[in-house]
Chain A
Amino acid sequence: DIQMTQSPSSLSASVGDRVTITCRASQTISTYLNWYQQRPGKAPEVLIYGVSSLKGGVPSRFSGSGSGTHFTLTISSLQPEDFATYYCQQSYSTPDSFGQGTKLEIK
């Protein structure tokens, strides 16, 4: 099974900051990498699929990059509604494993 590892596990930042979250796969997953946002008490929502394709309605301040085993999610200018937990997920092979999550908190 493919293991996904995110870093950092938590991150404090301010509105307007640029932040980057990293996700590493234990073996190559090509570009089969998704990012989800989960706000407290809510279901996860997909932000990005296929490394860099923004889901419809997702603000353009979100972007993704990478390939193989190393991937990043960048938020160019944090907004108050972006403080949440973010998960990467590989869809290269079953089981479609998730990273452990990165909690983005207000500084």
Chain B
Amino acid sequence: EVQLVESGGGLVQPGGSLRLSCAASGFTVSTYYMSWVRQAPGKGLEWVSVLYSDGAGGNTYYADSVKGRFSISRDNSNNTLYLQMNSLRAEDTAVYSCARWVGASVYWYFDVWGRGTLVTVSS
């Protein structure tokens, strides 16, 4: 079964750091584009970051709101995606979900999502 399971969320003070993990099963993370998407309490979906597959060069991109503070990466041996979050702010409080980005002909969409892990930034 294709599945994504996030972990690593929790309560952190403003300015602190946290590393989120996304363990994949049923497929190989390195062969897909993988993203992080967040949802603040009661709010909509916000795209955070993408990591291209190894075959596509492993490029990374970030939303302006997290650029320079967050870093996406993966461990192919553990089939796990990560999001390192530094200099956290109150506005980063959200449920963070990883998602698989797939293409059908020329169109791309998220076809598998994790349940998410809650990050709360508060003093």
Contacts and interface: CB of A to CB of B under 8 A. Distances in A.
A89 B110 CA distance: 10
A43 B44 contact: no
Contact of A49 (B44, B109, B114): B109
A4 to B, nearest CB: 10
A74 B11 CA distance: 40
A1 B107 contact: no
A97 B101 CA distance: 13
Identify whether the interface residues of A are mostly helix, strand, loop, or mixed: loop
A106 B116 CA distance: 27
Identify whether the interface residues of B are mostly helix, strand, loop, or mixed: strand
Interface of A: 1, 31-32, 34, 36, 38, 43-46, 49-50, 53, 55, 87, 89, 91, 94-101
Contacts of A43: 97, 113-116
A62 B54 CA distance: 35
A53 B115 contact: no
Contacts of A100: 44
